[in-house]
């Protein structure tokens, strides 16, 4: 099924069922065609994948380990839980895999500059890191509201040598940063590659980002077989745009006995109007935006609805078209975890195992920990630990109601900002 996904019917290039496609302005047609050709050519060259794996091994910390959660498995008393440790990657999450792959491709295409948009800033930091390492110029677009919320990430992007452009238009958040980034690309495409952060956007980005992130699933499948002698009964991953989920699922798509579970941001719950569960709550509707067709959270008039999650990386309006299709086929089951459930799961994992998951990743844990006790003891489940929680210190302190810590941490940041000025 993995290979089948990318065998497009004539005239349906980049479509997964009804989803995907490339809805782009005329000026970008040639660039996107060039990108498709370069990606297809790189994919057909075994030396390209080898160079990618070597860069990940020597620079980013791959292969990442597989860790059995022995304490939690004992406490819960069902299937044995294993986690894929994407939190141990350089820059703290799976995002580095994708940006290094696109960086290598950009260089192969003779591009000397990369651009990206970022909401919470994690993709911006990963892209700036890659650009420094591979010797590419780098510009990151970020909404003014997000810049104010994510000062530490802006600081690191600049220290890494990237130019950060603060976008003052519209709502001054991610969608305005995307528009600004596209405008840049339309003028600079001869020299510049647009580094997409997740499995969204126009074809070929969903396919390309899935390809690079499939390293997670390839490694995990081998590791779980080597450690347990069997395939997992279920694989859990959180879903923002869907790149870490697509990456780990890629290793198991052709194993029909392995159930794949994507976990979206349930925010304040199903009927709250404050969540980002496009599929799990059945509230997303197919539509076209940001260059591709998928399920978006929108109202009856087709206006995009505001989204919410305690995890910035899951707070997104759309979902990767490949995942939308796999949802429709019934190959991936979608669930949602609320902010409260996520915080409880996060605390439990920290205390039991000495691991601090990112708030995003804790969504996968919330659903897995809930379902594991009903499984047999000889079964195995695999959770993708997409990133580490260090970046979430303020949100977690605040959400857990630890006001003394929150105020202390805020003061420190304020003082640091003032001294910096």
Query: Which residues contact ligand PLP (rule: CB under 6 A)?
Result: 93, 95, 122, 198, 238-244, 313-314, 358, 360-361, 386-387
Can you read off the two tokens belonging to residue 140? Answer: 């990151």
Catalytic residue among 73, 86, 95, 361: 95
Nearer to ligand PLP, 95 or 111 (CB): 95
Smallest gap from residue 45 Cβ to ligand PLP (A): 26
Q: At what angle do helices 359-371 and 339-353 cross, to 10 degrees?
A: 80
Nearer to ligand PLP, 80 or 391 (CB): 391
Nearer to ligand PLP, 247 or 375 (CB): 247
Smallest gap from residue 190 Cβ to ligand PLP (A): 29
Is residue 316 within 8 A of residue 201, CB to CB? The reply is no
Smallest gap from residue 391 Cβ to ligand PLP (A): 8
Question: Which of 376, 255, 312 shows the shortest CA–CA distance to 125?
Answer: 312
Nearer to ligand PLP, 105 or 174 (CB): 174
Nearer to ligand PLP, 202 or 313 (CB): 313
Smallest gap from residue 243 Cβ to ligand PLP (A): 3
Catalytic residue among 243, 309, 361, 386: 386
Can you read off the two tokens belonging to residue 142? Answer: 């970020």
Tokens 């794996």 belong to 53
Nearer to ligand PLP, 178 or 358 (CB): 358
Smallest gap from residue 1 Cβ to ligand PLP (A): 20
Catalytic, 175? Answer no
- The Cα–Cα gap between 42 and 63 comes to 22
Is residue 22 within 8 A of residue 203, CB to CB? The reply is yes
Catalytic, 259? Answer no
Catalytic, 84? Answer no
Smallest gap from residue 211 Cβ to ligand PLP (A): 14
Is residue 85 within 8 A of residue 100, CB to CB? The reply is no
- The Cα–Cα gap between 380 and 204 comes to 34
Smallest gap from residue 62 Cβ to ligand PLP (A): 16
- Cis peptide leading into 228, omega within 30 of 0? no
Catalytic residue among 84, 86, 111, 117: 117
Nearer to ligand PLP, 66 or 358 (CB): 358
Q: Which residues are catalytic?
A: 95, 117, 386
């Amino acid at each position: 099924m993995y290979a089948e996904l990318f065998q497009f019917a004539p005239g349906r290039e980049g479509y997964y069922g009804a989803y995907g496609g490339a809805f782009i302005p005329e000026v970008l047609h040639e660039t996107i065609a060039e990108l498709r050709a370069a990606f297809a050519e790189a994919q057909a060259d075994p030396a390209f994948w080898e160079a990618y794996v070597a860069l990940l091994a020597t620079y980013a910390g791959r292969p990442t380990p597989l860790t059995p959660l022995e304490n939690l498995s004992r406490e819960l008393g069902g299937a044995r839980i294993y986690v894929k440790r994407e939190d141990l990657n350089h820059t703290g999450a799976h995002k580095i895999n994708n940006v290094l792959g696109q960086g290598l491709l950009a260089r192969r295409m003779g591009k000397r500059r990369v651009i990206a948009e970022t909401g919470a800033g994690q993709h911006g930091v990963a892209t700036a890191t890659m650009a420094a390492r591979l010797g590419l110029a780098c510009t990151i677009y970020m909404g003014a509201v997000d810049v104010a919320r994510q000062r530490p990430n802006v600081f690191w992007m600049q220290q890494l040598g990237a130019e950060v452009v603060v976008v003052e238009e519209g709502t001054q958040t991610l969608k305005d940063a995307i528009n600004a980034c596209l405008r840049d690309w339309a003028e600079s495409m001869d020299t510049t590659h647009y580094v997409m952060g997740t499995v969204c956007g126009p074809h070929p980005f969903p396919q390309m980002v899935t390809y690079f992130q499939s390293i997670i699933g390839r490694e995990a499948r081998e590791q779980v077989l080597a450690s347990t002698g069997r395939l997992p009964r279920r694989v859990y991953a959180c879903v923002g745009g869907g790149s870490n989920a697509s990456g780990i699922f890629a290793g198991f798509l052709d194993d029909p006995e392995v159930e794949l579970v994507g976990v979206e941001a349930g925010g304040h719950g199903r009927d709250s109007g404050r969540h980002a569960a496009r599929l799990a709550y059945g509230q997303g509707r197919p539509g076209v935006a940001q260059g591709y067709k998928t399920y978006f959270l929108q109202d009856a008039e087709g206006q995009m609805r505001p989204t919410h999650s305690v995890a910035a990386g899951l707070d997104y309006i759309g979902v990767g078209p490949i995942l939308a299709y796999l949802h429709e086929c019934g190959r991936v089951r979608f669930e949602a975890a609320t902010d409260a459930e996520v915080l409880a799961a996060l605390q439990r994992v920290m205390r039991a195992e000495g691991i601090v998951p990112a708030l995003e990743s804790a969504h996968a844990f919330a659903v897995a920990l809930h379902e594991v006790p009903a499984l047999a003891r000889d079964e195995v489940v695999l959770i993708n630990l997409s990133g580490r929680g260090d970046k979430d210190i303020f949100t977690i302190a605040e959400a857990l109601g630890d006001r003394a810590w929150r105020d202390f941490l805020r003061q420190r940041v304020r003082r640091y900002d003032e001294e910096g000025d």
